Amino acid sequence: MKKRIFLMTIVLAICVIAKAQPGPGGGDKKEKIEAIKIGYLTKQLELTADEAKVFWPIYNQYDAEMEVIRKGRLTELMNAKINFESMSDADVSKTIDNEFNSQQQELNIKKKYNEEFKKVLPVKKVAKFWVAEQKFKLYLLEQLKQQKENGMPPPKGPGPGGPH
């Protein structure tokens, strides 16, 4: 069961990352997602203008560091998915180890930026940030699922209460 959940998480992460990547026409979809995310996080954290002014530059650094990890992770996981049947046990083992290393790198970045966020926001808003970020990811996954099921584009953003 744990193995199945782990694999589903990897597949969903690939889908979200792949959907957010700019296509041949540019980064329009990624920019829309980012704009929705900024609005959602700002609302959920109830950021004042002063807080937003210092929070967003730090968040952008955090997001850029996480993106580097995600891109490397995506490349490796896509290669493993495509070549899985022909991979040696050693290659599969290395892929698993690399996945765990990527997860650890992400955790290290989160811990680092948790401290940075606490320097500019009250700790309760930092806690709200981590929860809101997870809720936003779940919202995106749900929109991708609905889009796939209905063959329709996802809505423009979370409703009045945001993702639940």
Whether residues 102 and 134 share a domain: the answer is: no
pLDDT of residue 143: 85
Residues 102 and 53 in one domain: yes
Phi/psi for 24 (5° steps) reads -60, -25
What domain range is 128 assigned to?
A: 122-159
Cα separation, 37 vs 132, whole angstroms: 10
pLDDT digits (tens, 9 = 90+) for 81-111: 898 889 899 998 999 999 999 999 999 999 9
Q: What is the pLDDT of residue 1?
A: 56
Q: What is the domain count for the chain?
A: 2
107 occurs within a structural domain = yes
Q: Is residue 116 part of a domain?
A: yes
**Pairwise pLDDT comparison (71 vs 16), residue with the higher score:** 71
Are 104 and 130 within one domain? no
Does residue 55 sit in the same domain as residue 95? yes
Mean pLDDT of 146-156: 72
Confirm whether 2 is domain-assigned.
Answer: no
pLDDT at 152: 66
pLDDT greater than 80 at residue 113: yes
Residues 97 and 146 in one domain: no
pLDDT in tens, 28-86: 888 888 998 999 999 999 999 999 999 999 999 999 999 999 998 988 888 888 988 89
Q: Is residue 113 part of a domain?
A: yes
Is residue 100 located within the same domain as residue 56?
A: yes
pLDDT of res. 153 = 60
Whether 70 and 95 map to the same domain: the answer is yes
pLDDT for the residue numbered 21:
47
Q: pTM above 0.75?
A: no
Q: Based on the fold, state whether residues 94 and 137 are members of the same structural domain.
A: no
Q: In this structure, is residue 92 part of a structural domain?
A: yes
> Does residue 71 sit in the same domain as residue 90?
yes
Distance CA 146, CA 157 (A): 13
Measured N-to-C along each axis, helices 28-45 and 123-150 cross at an angle, to the nearest 10 degrees, of 140
**Does one domain contain both 117 and 128?**
no
Write down the residue that tokens 């990890």 correspond to. Answer: 69
State whether 72 and 109 are in the same domain: yes
pLDDT on residue 22: 46
Instruction: Give domain status of residue 54, yes or no.
Output: yes
pLDDT at residue 151, rounded to an integer: 76
Residue 23's DSSP bridge partners are 26
**Residue written as tokens 């953003």?**
157
Task: Report yes or no on 148 lying in a domain.
Answer: yes
Q: Looking at the domain assignment, is residue 108 inside a domain?
A: yes
